[in-house]
Each structure stands twice: as C-alpha cells, then as structure tokens.
Amino acid sequence: MASLYKDLHFLLIPLMSQSHIIPLNDFAKLLALHGVHVSIITTPFNAQKYKSIVTYATKFNLKIQLIPIHFPSQEVGLPQGCENLDALNSLELIKDFFLASDMMQEPLEKLIQDLEPKPSCIISTSPLIWTQQVANKFKIPRYVFQTISCFTLYCSNILNQTNIQDTLVVDSDSFLIPNVPHNIEFTKAQLPNGSQDMNSILDKMKKSQDLARGTLINSFEELESWYVDAYKKDVNKVFCVGSVSLCNKEMDDEMVDINCLNWLDSMKPKSVIYVCFGSLCNISFMQMKEIGLGLESSNVAFIWIIRGLNFTLEVEKWLRDENFEEKVKGRGMIIRGWAPQVMILSHPSVGGFLTHCGWNSTLEGISCGVPMITFPMFAEQFYNEKFIVNVLKTGVRVGVEVINDPWNKEKNGVPVNKDRIKKAIDQLMDKGLEGEERRKRAKELAQISKKAIQEEGSSYLNIKLLIEDVMHVLKNKVEKNE
C-alpha cells in the first residue's frame, strides 16, 4: 500500500482556454507541493506558451510535467494552429472548437495506457464532459474543476430551478434572487442567453458534473461561506482550493516587465488604476475610445492593457492621431499584449482595478487587496459584479446594464461613456469614508485569502482532503481486487 500512496498521480485536463489553463496550472503547483505527481494534458501550441510551469517545477523540485496531445483544429475546419479558445474570432467557431476538444479523447486514452505512474484520478474543467468516460474506462475518480465561484454556481442553480427570469415581459425589468442572504438583483438583459447549441452544452456539463466524484472550486471558504455551505447541499463533495494564483510568489525572469515595474515604483502608494479586460472580451472601437477618454479626463494614474481582439489597427490609429500617450505621459502607461497581471495588482502603487469581472481576474483582485471598478460584459461576469459590489462591498459599478456578445463589436456599441468611466474612477479612488471602508475590506480579504492557502489554512486542508479522498478510492479498489 505504501508504494501506491507514494506514486499518486493526478492527471489535469483544462479546456484549451487561458481562463481554464492558467488556474489549473496554478492548482498543479499547489497539488505538487503535497508531494504527488502531476501531469497536465495540453497541446503543442499551449505547451510552448505555458512551458514556464516546467521551469517552476524544476526550480522547486516538484513533480509536474506537461504532456502535449495533437489538437485536431484543421480536421474540424478551424484555422491551422488554432489550439486555444482565445484565438477564435467568431462565435460560429465555438461548436467546432468543442468538437475538436472531444476528439482528444481517443489519443488521451492511448496515452494513459502507457503512462507511468498510472493516473490515480482525473481533474478536468467543466466543459470537458468526455473526461468522465475516460475516468470510467480506467476505473479512476474524476473531479470537476470549476472556474467560477460558489456564489455564481448556487445563484444560477436557483434561476434554473425557478425560471423567474422567464416570467418577465421586458428584459430591463429587475428581480431578486430568492432565499439568499444578500440583496442580489438582476435584469433578464444581464443574464447569459446562449444559442441552442450552447444551452445544450451547458445541460450536458451539468449532467456530467453530477456523475463526478467531487467538485473543486477556485475560491476560499471564508470568502463566500454562506454560498459554499448552500452549494455543498446541492453537489457531492465540494473542495474550495483557492485562490490558486497565490502560488505565484515569485515571477520567472522572463515574465517580468522591467519598464512596467520601474514605472510603478515611481508612483505614489495606491495611486494607480490597473485597466484590463481579459483575453476574450471583444470591445468596439467606439467603446475603446470612451475608455481612453475616461482615463485621460480622470487625472488618475493608470496602466491600460490592450490585447487580444481589442489590439486593432483602428485603435492604434486613434491613439496615434490623438497623441494619446504623449498627453498622459508620466501619468498613464499602455501595455500592448500580455502583462503580468498578478505582479501588477500586488504592487503597492496599484489602488484600483477596472475589470471585466472574469472570475480569475476577480479573484486575483481580491487576493491582492485591490478595490474594483466593475465592467461586466458576458457569461457569468454580471454575477461576479453582484458579488464584488453587493456581497463583498469592495467595488463600484461603472454602469453596464446589458450583456454583450464578445464576438460582435457592432452590436456592443458603447455601453458606457467616458463620463461614467471618469465618475467610477473618482468614486473608487475617493479618500472619503466610503472609499476608506472599501479599501479596508479589500485589505482584510487579501489577508484572509493568503492564510487560506498557507499550511493549515482552509484551502490547504481541502487539498489534503482531496488527496485523501483519491487515496480512499484507490484503497477500496485494491481491497476489492485482493
């Protein structure tokens, strides 16, 4: 039995999207710190992009490896090399991307047959429902890794059960989530309303989760204790294991932007707004312009990250024609492309975060103790806004009222003008009592989040419980075969 425990091997499989790969890679580090083997299934493109995790494992003597599997993008009609959801430029391609993801099942099964040590369990993000069939075939437990909060999971379950939103005549009519301890008010226009194909995928994901042995949440129990307890009554074996981004105490040299650091070092404490909208938000040119003008008129120092679908020739031309960077020189900095978000948010000069409210970004803001301006766009981001503003009371709404299609710039238009952006910045950075209370709460939550992943903290103990649960399954399996 001792050799069985020594050779525990966790197989981690994320959906090929940054919002899934990054937290699962971070969770791999936290798992490996407990002494188990961890293998992360990826694709050639993503293996190259996230190879720093192997450097990290070598540096800290952890047993982590990346295993690339061919991603059949061309076989389903996707462009060559399209191995990440963030690379799609059209909503129409999502169905093909999921089909390609499904086709990874057969090569993964062949890989597992030869893998040593044999996998003890599978941990996969929720869209990869076929991983349950793989787990069943090899008679090992599967756990779902959720990339959203217990708050969102529980509140969306209530809406699925009650269908309150379907009783509304007008999309702008509001309603309260029943039977929760906070005042959580939505309009129908703020809720995800996917295509028939997407709704079918979500339904299959729910059924697949019911078959899993347990659910891992990138959150910590103290952050949303009431919702964790409530969700545990709905779902089998819930383990809060976050905030996983806090494993990154040290940055690799290749990840550090020296210019960015030097600039931040020159600014006053808590004086800078960090502006970033994730990798999937497709913001119209007119809205990008309003964001820029709002930042300029605020007279507050800022770092603005422009990347992905928003890094366009049209935006670049406007910045040049407006002489924007010269106008804000010394006060504003633009980073084109990727930026070390956790490193920036944890810098003493950063005092606010203008965010799209993706859960990874939300949790990183919370864990770094930074109050937020909420600018939700699609998916579950309006849930995260309600959580930040109404539950945690560490944020200010910019005032978006309608969910936006991330791939349709024309439809999105300008949900928020420059004046509302300036007003939200002024409100967040206000030195009055309300602003001070918000900063105090944010700082307290950051301290609690750090304790959660430290030895004997709630998330640390939950990871131990997860490992013990896997060991329990394997012990029963061995005893049945004796």
- pLDDT(115) > 70: yes
pLDDT > 70 in the chain, percent: 93
Q: Would you state the pLDDT for residue 92?
A: 77
- More confidently predicted of 468 and 173: 468
The dihedral of CA 355, 408, 390, 159: what is its sign? negative
| Region for 68 from its dihedrals, namely left if φ exceeds 0, alpha if ψ lies in -120 to 50, beta otherwise | beta
- State which CATH number among 3.30.230.70, 3.40.50.11540, 3.40.50.2000, 3.40.1550.20 fits the domain covering 2-248+455-481: 3.40.50.2000
Pairing of strands 372-374, 395-397: parallel
For the ranges 84-98, 433-447, 460-474, the lowest mean pLDDT is seen at 84-98
pLDDT confidence bin for 338, thresholds 50/70/90: confident
Q: How confident is the model at residue 144 (pLDDT cuts 50, 70, 90)?
A: very high
**Chain length of the chain:** 482
pLDDT of 400 > 50? The answer is: yes
Helical pair 52-59 and 18-32, crossing angle rounded to 10 deg = 10
User: What pLDDT, on the 0 to 100 scale, is given for residue 207?
Assistant: 77
Phi-psi region of 180 (alpha: psi -120 to 50; beta: other; left: phi over 0): beta
Q: How does residue 403 score in pLDDT terms, banded at 50, 70 and 90?
A: confident
What is the token pair recorded at 446?
């950051």
Sheet with 332-336: strands ordered across: 332-336, 301-306, 272-276, 350-355, 372-374, 395-397
Tens of pLDDT along 199-222? 666 777 777 888 999 999 999 999
Residues 120, 140 contacting (CB under 8 angstroms): yes
Q: Please choose, from the candidates 397, 395, 421, 400, the residue with its C-alpha nearest in 3D space to the C-alpha of residue 299.
A: 421
Q: How confident is the model at residue 3 (pLDDT cuts 50, 70, 90)?
A: very low
| DSSP secondary structure letter of residue 345 | H
DSSP 35: T
Which residue did the predictor score with more confidence, 271 or 86?
A: 271
At a CB cut-off of 8 Å and minimum separation 6, what does 260 contact?
A: 303, 333, 335, 339, 340, 344
**Can 2-248+455-481 and 253-449 be said to share one CATH topology?**
yes
As a whole number of angstroms, the distance between CA 163 and CA 183 comes to: 18
Average pLDDT over residues 259-274: 94
308-312, 418-422, 441-445, range with the lowest pLDDT: 308-312
The pLDDT of residue 31: 96
Q: In angstroms, what is the C-alpha Rg of the chain?
A: 22
Average confidence score pLDDT of the chain: 91
What is the pLDDT at residue 229?
A: 97
In CATH, what number does 253-449 get?
A: 3.40.50.2000
Phi and psi (nearest 5°) for 252? -65, 145
**479: confidence class by pLDDT, cuts 50, 70, 90:** confident
Which DSSP helix (H) or strand (E) runs through 350?
strand 350-355
Q: Please state the domain extents for the chain.
A: 2-248+455-481, 253-449
433 vs 254 pLDDT, higher one = 433
Is the CB of residue 149 less than 8 Å from the CB of residue 217?
yes
Q: How do 185-187 and 174-176 pair as beta strands?
A: antiparallel
In this model, does residue 411 exceed pLDDT 50? yes
Q: What residues pair up with 124 in beta bridges, in sequence order?
A: 13, 144
- At residue 87 the predicted structure's pLDDT band, cuts being 50, 70 and 90, is confident
Q: Taking 80 as the threshold, does the pLDDT of residue 195 lie above it?
A: no
Q: Which of 127, 135, 144 has the alpha carbon at shortest distance from 218? A: 144
CA distance 21 to 389: 27
Partners of 42 in beta bridges:
68
Identify whether 243 is preceded by a cis peptide bond (ω within 30 of 0): yes
| pLDDT, average across residues 360-377 | 97
More confident residue, 149 or 280: 149
